[in-house]
Amino acid sequence: MPVDRELPTPEAEHLLRLTREIADAELAPNAASYEREERFPREVFRLLGEAGLMGLPFGEDVGGGGQPYEVYLQVVEELAARWASVALGVSVHTLSCFPIDRFGTDAQRRDLLPDMVGGHLLGAYCLSEAHAGSDAAALRASARADGDGWTASGEKAWVTHGGQADFYSTFLRTPDDGEKGISCFHLTPDLAGFGAAPPEQKMGLTGSTTAAIRLDDVPVPADRLVGERGRGMGIALAALDSGRLGVSAVAVGLAQSALDLAVGYAVEREAFGRPIAQHQGVSFLLADMAAAVESARATYLVAARRKDAGKPYSRQASIAKLVATDAAMKVTTDAVQVLGGAGYTRDHPAERYMREAKVMQIFEGTNQIQRMVIGRHLTNAVVPPAG
Ligand SMILES: Cc1cc2nc3c(=O)[nH]c(=O)nc-3n(C[C@H](O)[C@H](O)[C@H](O)COP(=O)(O)OP(=O)(O)OC[C@H]3O[C@@H](n4cnc5c(N)ncnc54)[C@H](O)[C@@H]3O)c2cc1C
């Protein structure tokens, strides 16, 4: 069932219509087979770039769509309803463009951003390492000052689009900047010593490649530093606030699909002489699923509207990520239940949705970490942190 949306402008309504048309024609028919074959749909990102959907929240001066986050996120949600891996890819690409857009020099913004936000190039965001996921500030891969530039070495783990991307927004320890010194770099695969490991074998989102990136004494030119040296962790966290909204939208789109599938099945499937939807046990389950989807959507929209209004939104972004991804896990699990035995087979996408939902509670900060962020906001508002 099409989602009834409150959009701010006729332009946004047109954009959502265009997104649905493209997603119905190009994403929905291919999702199941690509996921089954673990194929990365690079050409789909090119197509979305040509349609102007890869840089929606960035300024028109750098080739972006100039759209508010509330509109961009609803586009992501519509994509996710047809193919979660692709919607996640759009969200990660947006996250990867954020450091240069927000912290880059005029020259970086002018020379690099148009091809990035135009979708000619695909981005990746490299913060995590094998031993440093939740505790990202414990990262060890480093960049040492070397002549005019830097030499980067170490390994970044779990990189969405690893080995597929054209640029990597990468966070590396810069030891000369003190114990906490971390800096952000714009790395590209053409640099000598840059390599990708074979993709991870995942439970779900198998159309989205995830791989470690190896940096083997990579010479990095000075103009690849993004933002101030030593201040990279602030850039990483600011990017993650907006990225968590992207993940929220992906989770809501996925949950909406699971709900639609379950409703469609429940009105057709009969047991005890009537459609199962007419048994209260099933209709209450469907009602709870709908309530979870709609409240998760409302929660991410509240956070997005705060961001669009220039207000702080970090706490609301963590709440949105927590609420939306927990909702997606519950709704996709209940969709399998509504379909009964059929839900447990690969004849229907319910089991895939359930596998895809699980990782959303893990990446871009696990939901335990979101609770820590929310808790800190609450208590710091009452008791300011020491020091
Ligand atoms: C498919 C996929 C794609 C990803 N894509 C990217 C990407 O593009 N870029 C990137 O940088 N990273 C990416 N990641 C990494 C992801 O962000 C991390 O997996 C995540 O942050 C968790 O880190 P970890 O796996 O090391 O788990 P750990 O940090 O080892 O956590 C293990 C468990 O302990 C819990 N835990 C840890 N610390 C605490 C605490 N203080 N309090 C309570 N519980 C705690 C966690 O919640 C979790 O349940 C991706 C991961 C996956 C699976």
Confidence of residue 387 (pLDDT cuts 50, 70, 90): very low
Cα(40)–Cα(126) distance, integer angstroms: 19
Query: What does the pLDDT look like over 163-207, one tens digit per residue?
Result: 999 999 999 999 999 888 999 999 999 999 999 999 999 999 999
Cα(204)–Cα(290) distance, integer angstroms: 23
Contact 48, 120 (CB under 8 A): no
**Closest C-alpha to ligand 1, atom 5:** 160
Average pLDDT score, the chain? 96
pLDDT given for residue 384 in this prediction:
56
pLDDT given for residue 2 in this prediction:
81
Q: Which residues contact 382 (CB under 8 A, 6 or more apart)?
A: none
In the chain, CATH 1.10.540.10 covers 10-117
Query: What does the pLDDT look like over 55-113, one tens digit per residue?
Result: 999 999 999 999 999 999 999 999 999 999 999 999 999 999 999 999 999 999 999 99
Which atom of ligand 1 is found nearest the CA of 202?
1
In the chain, CATH 2.40.110.10 covers 123-231
CATH code for residues 123-231: 2.40.110.10
By DSSP bridging, strand 182-187 and strand 167-173 are antiparallel
pLDDT given for residue 164 in this prediction:
98
In the chain, CATH 1.20.140.10 covers 234-378
User: What would the two tokens of residue 271 be?
Assistant: 């047991």
Mean pLDDT to the nearest integer, 146-150: 95
pLDDT given for residue 226 in this prediction:
98
pLDDT given for residue 383 in this prediction:
60
124 alpha carbon to ligand 1 midpoint, in Å? 17
Confidence of residue 35 (pLDDT cuts 50, 70, 90): very high
Beta-strand ranges (E) seen in 61-141 are 123-126
User: What would the two tokens of residue 385 be?
Assistant: 């942190």
By DSSP bridging, strand 149-160 and strand 142-146 are antiparallel
200 alpha carbon to ligand 1 midpoint, in Å? 15
Which atom of ligand 1 is found nearest the CA of 366?
47
Q: Which of 35, 164, 363 to mutate to test the pocket of ligand 1 (most atoms within 8 A of CB)?
A: 363
Which helix (DSSP H) or strand (DSSP E) does residue 67 occupy?
A: none
pLDDT given for residue 1 in this prediction:
72
Q: Which residues line ligand 1 (CB under 6 A)?
A: 92, 125-128, 133-134, 158-160, 202, 205, 210, 359, 362-366, 368-369, 372
CATH code for residues 234-378: 1.20.140.10
Confidence of residue 370 (pLDDT cuts 50, 70, 90): very high
CA-based R_g, the chain, Å: 21
Confidence of residue 380 (pLDDT cuts 50, 70, 90): confident
DSSP string, 36-51: HHT---HHHHHHHHHT
Which residues are tagged catalytic?
Answer: 364
**Which residue, chain included where needed, has tokens 């198998």?**
206
User: What would the two tokens of residue 378 be?
Assistant: 């609450």
| CA-to-CA dists, residue 84 to 123, 145, 203, 237, 306, angstroms | 17, 40, 14, 24, 25
Residue 14's identity, in one-letter code, is: H
pLDDT given for residue 356 in this prediction:
98
Which atom of ligand 1 is found nearest the CA of 124?
8
Mean pLDDT to the nearest integer, 349-369: 98
pLDDT given for residue 179 in this prediction:
83
Residue 29 backbone dihedrals phi, psi, to 5 degrees: -70, -20
Cα(169)–Cα(68) distance, integer angstroms: 23
Provide the whole-model pTM: 0.97
Say whether domain 10-117 belongs to CATH 1.10.540.10: yes
Contact 353, 253 (CB under 8 A): no
**Closest C-alpha to ligand 1, atom 31:** 134
pLDDT given for residue 307 in this prediction:
97
Residue 373 has pLDDT above 80, yes or no: yes
